[in-house]
């Protein structure tokens, strides 16, 4: 185990990415460059590149002109590529990485400098992930807040698509860099993701060691473009090439962004991924999202694990942002397991059963996932500017799931629902304490069914305590079969929903739940 400490402030001479003796055919992979962050212990970082078939390549890690370690490999004949896995290194730096190729009497050398070891996170998705710092609230203040975060390094992958899986990136928009006003605020949807940057900054505030952030996102893109052919085939996704033209703003053809913007990164050792996507699937293969998203997570995990020679954890942490109206929550009704509300006789219910389902997704993912409930609507905009809250909540989930911190990172959900027929109340018991910030008589709704016809009715908030909330359901004179919360396009104003966690300020997520038990005689008692 290598354990040198931080050596920030060391003045290094400006070095070219490869020195003048380098051969044209000998190079590092596209994203291995000055100022990069390599994954720290307990994993080993992967260094790779291209060379002349049969040549010997020696990779040396140095600090203060002292050799820390050397790794020797050879260039593979079929791919002209070489790769080494470094021994685990503790967080810190800066280091120099040198690669030397020897073939006969020819000797070529590459160097990169100011390399740090820390945690490396990949950020991907569509426009809400691609938005830059210049587009968010308090942009001027955020852009000036970089001096304390020079060990948070950023890289932005170029927008690119390919019909086949690429081995390396075709282009990088922003090579590994220290954060500056210019590269964080380069323009709208250009260069660095605001959510990615803020997420890394919040992590650094807690971790106090280097963080590497790779942004690979493209506005207006469906999940099919980010998925491999393998995962799409497993979900039965038809080879439908494009989304409806009125919705298309980015590539939508199957796998083209996976091929060009994700697969080339597979050799990198990662700590985890954060994902912000879903808008482009609201009207495109929405019924399949509860398969395509878990399949994407599983496939990315397997691919990065294999590509990094097992150094990226097989089930690395994967955080994602909930798009409103896309999920339902699983709770219990008087101790009985709940199931999604789906009934061929109830057309109203079918609409939200077609939506992606939080429980179905989370149950299919084996472990180390967390979902951020954004719930930060901004009227008439699909791009809310409050990316600070989104990033902060994502970082809370990362701290809990990826780093084992004991903290609250998700808002309260009901874990039991009990129908109190004699009182005309529906009692919800929550998994965490709740804070009722304001009464809202329309945000809860109940599905009331008679003769195979169902309609949603408001269920006004009644009494509440630390972890329970009662709803008035006397308006239903027939069979009460479901309850939902905040299940509209605009359920409440910005940060003004009725239910939050009392100390973390995390909102209660939207949910729908099926009421499995019916108390005999309930209908007649309510009707009276």
pLDDT of residue 323: 64
Same domain, 484 and 436: yes
**68-72, 81-85, 119-123, 319-323: the lowest-pLDDT one:** 319-323
DSSP alpha helices (H): ranges in 87-219?
A: 127-130, 139-144, 181-184, 194-207
User: What pairing do the DSSP bridges indicate for beta strands 106-125 and 211-217?
Assistant: parallel
In a domain, 16, yes or no: no
Same domain, 349 and 202: yes
- Please state, as a whole number, how many other Cβ atoms lie within 10 Å of the Cβ of residue 334: 15
Same domain, 347 and 228: yes
**178-187, 363-372, 418-427, 432-441: the lowest-pLDDT one:** 363-372
pLDDT of 518 over the 80 cut = no
pLDDT of residue 6: 39
- C-alpha 66/C-alpha 96 separation (Å) is 10
Residue 399 structural domain? 118-326+340-374+382-403
**91-105, 136-150, 359-373: the lowest-pLDDT one:** 359-373
pLDDT of residue 454: 93
Same domain, 206 and 106: no
User: What pairing do the DSSP bridges indicate for beta strands 435-436 and 499-500?
Assistant: antiparallel
pLDDT of 230 over the 90 cut = yes
pLDDT of 362 over the 60 cut = no
pLDDT of 309 over the 90 cut = yes
Same domain, 148 and 286: yes
Q: In terms of pLDDT, which residue wins out, 324 or 220?
A: 220
Same domain, 64 and 162: no
pLDDT of 127 over the 90 cut = no
**279-293, 346-360, 376-390, 417-431: the lowest-pLDDT one:** 346-360
pLDDT of residue 204: 98
pLDDT of 22 over the 80 cut = no
In a domain, 209, yes or no: yes
pLDDT tens for each residue of 382-393: 667 788 888 999
The domain total for the chain is 3
Same domain, 242 and 283: yes
Q: Could you say which of 116, 146, 170 is where a domain stops? A: 116
Mean of the per-residue pLDDT values for the chain? Answer: 83
Same domain, 254 and 295: yes
DSSP 8-state assignment for residue 187: S
pLDDT of 435 over the 80 cut = yes
pLDDT of 9 over the 60 cut = no
pLDDT of residue 332: 29
pLDDT of 237 over the 90 cut = yes
Same domain, 137 and 154: yes
The residues with which 83 forms a beta bridge, in sequence order, are 48
pLDDT of 269 over the 50 cut = yes
pLDDT of 480 over the 60 cut = yes
Same domain, 59 and 80: yes
Q: In terms of pLDDT, which residue wins out, 184 or 384?
A: 184
Same domain, 181 and 135: yes
* Residues 209, 92 contacting (CB under 8 angstroms): yes
Q: Is the dihedral of CA 98, 99, 102, 107 positive or negative?
A: negative
Task: Please report, rounded to a whole number, the percentage of residues in the chain having pLDDT higher than 90.
Answer: 61
In a domain, 15, yes or no: no
pLDDT of residue 40: 98
**Which candidate, 477, 424, 429, places its Cα nearest to that of 455?**
477
């Amino acid at each position: 185990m290598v354990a040198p400490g931080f050596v920030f402030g060391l003045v290094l001479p400006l070095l070219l990415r490869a020195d003048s003796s380098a051969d044209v055919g000998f190079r590092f992979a596209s994203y291995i460059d000055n100022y990069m962050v390599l994954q720290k212990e307990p994993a080993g970082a992967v260094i790779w590149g291209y060379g002349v078939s049969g040549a010997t390549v020696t990779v040396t890690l140095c600090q203060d002109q002292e050799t820390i370690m050397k790794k020797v490999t050879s260039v593979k004949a079929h791919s002209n590529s070489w790769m080494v896995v470094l021994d685990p290194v503790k967080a810190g730096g800066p280091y120099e990485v040198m690669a030397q190729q020897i073939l006969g009497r020819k000797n070529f050398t590459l160097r990169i400098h100011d390399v740090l070891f820390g945690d490396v996170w990949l950020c991907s998705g569509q426009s809400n992930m691609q938005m830059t710092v210049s587009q968010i609230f308090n942009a001027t203040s955020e852009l000036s807040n970089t001096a304390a975060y020079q060990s948070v390094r950023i890289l932005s992958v170029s927008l690119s698509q390919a019909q086949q899986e690429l081995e390396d990136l075709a282009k990088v928009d922003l090579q590994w860099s220290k954060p500056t006003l210019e590269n964080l605020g380069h323009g709208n949807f250009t260069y660095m993701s605001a959510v990615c940057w803020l997420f890394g900054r919040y992590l650094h505030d807690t971790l106090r060691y280097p963080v590497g952030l790779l942004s690979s996102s493209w506005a207006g893109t469906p999940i099919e473009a980010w998925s491999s052919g393998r995962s799409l085939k497993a979900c039965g996704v038809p080879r439908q090439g494009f989304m409806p033209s009125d919705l298309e703003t980015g590539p939508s053809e199957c796998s083209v962004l996976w091929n060009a913007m994700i697969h080339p990164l597979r050799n990198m050792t990662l700590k985890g991924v954060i994902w912000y996507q879903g808008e482009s699937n609201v009207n495109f293969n929405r019924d399949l999202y509860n398969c395509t998203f878990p399949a994407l997570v599983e496939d990315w995990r397997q691919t990065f694990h294999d590509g990094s020679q097992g150094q990226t954890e097989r089930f690395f942490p994967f955080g994602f942002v909930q798009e409103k109206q896309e999920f339902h929550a699983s709770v219990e009704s008087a101790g009985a397991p709940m199931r999604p509300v789906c009934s061929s006789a109830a057309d109203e219910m079918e609409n939200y059963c077609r939506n992606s389902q939080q429980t179905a997704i989370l149950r299919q993912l084996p472990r180390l996932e967390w979902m951020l409930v954004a719930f930060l609507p901004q009227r008439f905009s699909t791009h809310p500017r409050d990316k600070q809250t989104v990033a902060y909540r994502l970082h809370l989930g990362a701290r809990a799931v990826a780093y084992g911190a004991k903290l609250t990172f998700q808002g309260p959900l009901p874990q039991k629902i009990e129908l109190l027929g004699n009182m005309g109340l529906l009692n919800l018991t929550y998994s965490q304490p709740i804070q009722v910030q304001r009464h809202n008589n329309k945000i809860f709704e109940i599905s009331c069914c008679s003769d195979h016809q169902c309609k949603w009715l408001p269920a006004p908030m009644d009494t509440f305590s630390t972890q329970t909330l009662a709803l008035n359901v006397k308006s239903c004179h027939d069979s009460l079969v479901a309850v939902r919360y905040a299940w509209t396009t605009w359920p409440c104003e910005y940060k003004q929903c009725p239910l939050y966690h009392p100390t973390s300020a995390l909102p209660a997520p939207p949910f729908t739940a099926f009421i499995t038990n019916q108390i005999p005689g309930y209908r007649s008692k309510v009707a009276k």
